[in-house]
Structure 1
Amino acid sequence: MMRILALLLVLAAAPAMAQPYADWRMAAPLLPLDAPSRAMRQAVTIGGEAWGPWQRLCREQTLRPGRPPQRDCLMVTEARREGDGVRLTLRHEPTGLLITAQRGVDGRIGAFEAVRADGTAPPDDARRAALLAAWREQFATLSLERRRIGPNDQFPLPVEGSPRGGICRPDGTATIGGRPVLVARCAVELAGRLRGGESDARVAIFARVAIDVATGVVSAQGYATRIETFAANGRSNGVVITPSRVVLE
């Protein structure tokens, strides 16, 4: 899931709009499944491989209600075996930033660092560091460690700003691009004071996710974020609902 605290700062000043959803969770984009999911009748073990065939990691975020989503991508320029895992070289398409990332067969993330074309570390730069941190958090939310998930199990999904993360429940099995995935629904709630302001906010997130069975990588997710802010007297300033999605292509 995206950087929720950063999104709050952008949306807090946006005017509340009438929402065309009987249930705000319907705003979450559908997953790009090859066919409707099937009921899950037995436990599924996810993970065991370090990476799949993906060439691009993209997120589409709606930063302003009523505006088209903004698309931002990392291109996989190299995926090289390293020990029992993989080392990826990623290029941020809008800026050209190069990133090296390690992922093990157990699903754990190792290094996630900016590099030059010759493999050396670039000089310190605050703007680049912020961009790198945002993508590091995004990459971490897509990587689940190897585990066995039963039809009635609950399991966590990392979410920035929430110590517990999202709570997910299996919804069935399906395929994306011919690869088996575990389909689940996740939810998380956050509350607190907006950073740098005096408004309190309540944030609820509902997500549809597809977890690649072979790798434990979340290969697709579509989620809706509901943000309600409150004045100092406790009165609601209104509700903003935004859809977003993250996909591996």
Structure 2
Amino acid sequence: MNASRRHCPGRAARWQPRAGAALLLALLAAPAAAQAPDWRAAAPALPLRGPQRPITTPVAIGGAGWGPWRHICREQTDRPGRAPTRDCLTVAAVQPEPGGTRLVLVQDRTGLRMSVLRGTEGRISEFTALRADGTALPHDEVRDGLLAAWRDQFATLSLERRRIVVGEDFPMAIDGSSRGGVCRAAGLDAIAQRAVLVARCAVELAGRLRGGDSEARVAIFAHIAVDVASGVVLAQGYATRIETFTGNGRSKGVVVTPSRVILE
């Protein structure tokens, strides 16, 4: 999940967390079928094998550096009614290193090559642009912006090694929020023969729009599937609710867009 670059590109100067504990807990609750249409229902479903099993004991996630995935793809709908756009990274190389695993990622659309070092605990300690010969590229404003967007995206896919206990919330990195998102485990399942922990995540952000007095409030609700062996989030399906306001606080309207990120 990435709010500031992917959902309101170029609009919000800075997001600040606005949700208190009660609101985040309400967002994490599953939508009730008997109620009026809930914007969270726009979040795409995960490609789970099913049936989902309850969590009865603490689940240890992480430890493995990576998995069999060769593509990281995100599908994003910028406006309601439009077909989603798809942007992928190809995993060109996976190399174990002391203290972690190095990945070479190539953006299919632009050819941008990126070197990523993921530590054994799941932390991303390096994310740089590369030439074809493997040497680092000099700074470039446009390329650096694209690199930063993918770095933020990758950070949401890499959870640190931890034990997840039933009923306890755990954090997820969210670009633009110092607090990040809050996730709650929902059960155990599988995707493509990989054991996954299924969870619901939520965050609310707010920020003033550039070039005026208007503000926007963003709420994100997501279903995620975390690969148990590696701690990598191999599937996300989320809905983003954006409400904008005039300078006097009157709502200008609400837009809800679905997006998903999946490792293939």
Q: Decide: shared fold, TM above 0.5.
A: yes
Paired letter, 2:235: A
Q: Tell me: CA distance 1:196–1:141, structure 2 relative to 1, closer, same or farther (3 Å).
A: farther
Deviation at 1:81, TM superposition (A): 1.0
Q: Within 1, Cα distance between the matches of 2:74 and 2:94?
A: 20
Matching residue of 2:92: 77
Q: Within 2, Cα distance between the matches of 1:56 and 1:155?
A: 26
* Equivalent in 169, 172, 182 of residue 187 of structure 2: 172
Contact 1:3 1:138 (8 Å CA) reproduced: no
Identity of paired residues, percent? 61
TM-score where L is the length of structure 1: 0.93
Matching residue of 1:4: 4
Deviation at 1:124, TM superposition (A): 2.5
Deviation at 1:5, TM superposition (A): 4.7
Paired letter, 1:128: R
Q: Within 1, Cα distance between the matches of 2:232 and 2:193?
A: 15
- What does residue range 84-103 of structure 1 map to in structure 2 within 5 Å? 84-103=99-118
Q: Within 1, Cα distance between the matches of 2:5 and 2:79?
A: 15
- What does residue range 31-70 of structure 1 map to in structure 2 within 5 Å? 31-70=46-85
Matching residue of 2:230: 215
Q: Within 2, Cα distance between the matches of 1:11 and 1:175?
A: 38
How far does the alpha carbon of each residue in 1:27-47 deviate from its partner, in whole angstroms, 9 at most, with x for none? 000001111321111110000
Say if 2:35 is the partner of 1:24: no
* Equivalent in 91, 109, 112 of residue 127 of structure 2: 112
How far does the alpha carbon of each residue in 1:143-175 deviate from its partner, in whole angstroms, 9 at most, with x for none? 111000011110011111111111111100001
Q: Secondary structure at the match of 1:95?
A: coil
Q: Within 2, Cα distance between the matches of 1:128 and 1:100?
A: 14
Paired letter, 2:2: M
Q: Secondary structure at the match of 2:8?
A: helix
CA-atom RMSD in angstroms: 1.5
Contact 2:243 2:253 (8 Å CA) reproduced: yes
Paired letter, 2:219: A
TM-score where L is the length of structure 2: 0.88
- Segments of structure 2 that go 5 or more residues without pairing to the other structure are 13-35
Q: Secondary structure at the match of 1:8?
A: coil
Matching residue of 1:121: 136
Deviation at 1:196, TM superposition (A): 3.5
Q: Secondary structure at the match of 2:148?
A: helix
Say if 2:224 is the partner of 1:202: no
After TM superposition, the structure 1 stretch with the greater mean CA deviation from structure 2, 228-237 or 239-248, is 228-237
Deviation at 1:64, TM superposition (A): 1.7
How far does the alpha carbon of each residue in 1:46-83 deviate from its partner, in whole angstroms, 9 at most, with x for none? 00111111101111111122111111111001101111
Deviation at 1:234, TM superposition (A): 1.5
Deviation at 1:202, TM superposition (A): 1.3
Deviation at 1:6, TM superposition (A): 4.8
Q: Within 1, Cα distance between the matches of 2:132 and 2:51?
A: 43
Matching residue of 2:259: 244
